Amino acid sequence: MLGILGGMGPAASSEFLRRLIEQTPATCDQEHIPTVLWSDPTIPDRSLALRAGTNEPLEGLLRGIQGLKSAGCTHIVIPCNTAHFWYDQMSDQGVPILHIVESVAVQLNKQNVTGTIGIMGTQSTIEFGLYQTMLESRGWNCIVPSQYEMDVYVQPAIDYVKAGDTTSAQDILNIVIKNLIDRGADAVVLGCTELPLAITEEEMYGVPLVNSIDSLVKSTLEWYRNV
C-alpha cells in the first residue's frame, strides 16, 4: 500500500495522484497501485517555518505519517519539495520514504544531462540548498534565480497556482526559465510541485525541463515494481 503525504498544497497532491494513475502501465483496475492519500492543508507553511528557524510543520508531517501507517501503508511519497527538509525525522518513523530530490537526480541521469542545472523552487528550497547540495555532490553545477526573480516572479507564481490561477503563473515563470537558460542552464528543474501545474509545454524551451511531480511518479513506479 502506497501512502501519499499531501495537502502541501492540495492541487499538487491531487496532480501527483492523477499522473501516477495516468502513467501506471495498467490495463484494468487491479493493476493499479493501492494508494492512500493523506491530504492535510492545515500543516503550517514549510518555507515560512524554515526561514523563521522553527520546526512548526513537523508535528503535522509526523501525524500524517502515523495516519498512513495506521491505514496499512508500507511506503510513502511526499509531493512537496520543502517538506523534505524534515526527511530524516520523517524517515525515523519506520516507513520507507522516497526522496523527491533523488527522483529528480535519477531523471537527470536518464536524460543524460550534464553541466549546469537551473533550479526553481520556493524561497526556502533555494535558500537552504535542498537541490544544490545533492546535485552538486553528484557533479552538476547549479544556478538559481536572482533574489529579484524570486520575489517578483517565482514566489508570486507559486502563490498564483495555489490560488488556482495557472495562466498568470505560467506567464511570469517563462521569464525565469528563459533567464536561467540564457545564463547557461543545460536543464531546468521545477523543484516545487506547484510549478508543473503551470508549465505544461516543456518542449518549447529547447532544454530538458525536469519537474519534481513526474520525477516522483516515475521513481514511485520503479520503486513499486521492485518491492
Query: In order of start, what are the domains of the chain with their CATH numbers?
Result: 2-99+215-226 (3.40.50.1860), 101-211 (3.40.50.1860)
Q: Classify strands 35-39 and 2-6 as parallel, antiparallel or unpaired.
A: parallel
Measured between alpha carbons, how far is residue 173 from residues 41, 121, 185, 193 in Å? 24, 11, 15, 14
Model confidence at 227: pLDDT above 80: no
Dihedral sign for Cα 220, 5, 169, 183, please: negative
pLDDT tens across 192-223, in order? 999 999 997 766 788 999 999 999 999 999 99
For residues 173 and 154, the answer to whether their CB atoms sit within 8 Å is yes
143-157 pLDDT, tens digit per residue, is 999 999 999 999 999
The H or E element containing residue 6 is: strand 2-6
Whole-structure pTM value: 0.94
Confidence class of residue 22 from pLDDT cuts 50, 70 and 90? Answer: very high
Peptide bond into 206 cis (omega under 30): no
| Whole-angstrom distance, CA of residue 8 vs CA of residue 102 | 19
156-187 residue pLDDT tens: 999 999 999 999 999 999 999 999 999 999 99
> Could you give the CA distance from residue 148 to residue 6 in angstroms, rounded to a whole number?
30
Determine how many CB atoms are found less than 10 A away from the CB of residue 184.
11
pLDDT digits (tens, 9 = 90+) for 37-78: 999 999 999 999 999 999 999 999 999 999 999 999 999 999
Cα dihedral 74→77→78→81 (10° resolution)? 140
